[in-house]
Amino acid sequence: MNDLFSSSFRKYTDLKHQALLDDLGAGGTAEKESVNLKKFFEDVENVKNDVGIVEKLYKQLEDASEECTMATNT
């Protein structure tokens, strides 16, 4: 799952870099977009942390389910 996020993130950063270059070439306001993207990347990091927490909880749930199944079958 992390590989999926990593490749998607890399593609996005490449596009972000290209858009920044295009904007600079057109004489746009790259600084304003950079601030907006900074907030976006902070949100991405928060989502990554949340996904990690959900994965841990899922593993605990799987383990508990397996224990219940074993206790029921004995």
CA 43, 48, 50, 51 dihedral sign is positive
- Which of the two residues, 14 and 4, has the higher pLDDT score? 14
pLDDT for position 62: 97
Mean pLDDT of the chain: 80
Residue 45 has pLDDT above 80, yes or no: yes
Give the domain range for residue 25: 2-73
- Cβ contact 3:9 at 8 Å: no
Query: CA-based Rg of the chain, rounded to a whole angstrom?
Result: 21
Rounded mean pLDDT of 29-51? 86
Using the predicted structure, report yes or no on whether residue 23 has a pLDDT greater than 90.
no
- Residue 58 pLDDT level (bands cut at 50, 70, 90): very high
Q: How many domains does the chain have?
A: 1
pLDDT at 15 over 90: no
Q: How far is CA 34 from CA 12, 25, 37, 45, in A?
A: 14, 15, 5, 16
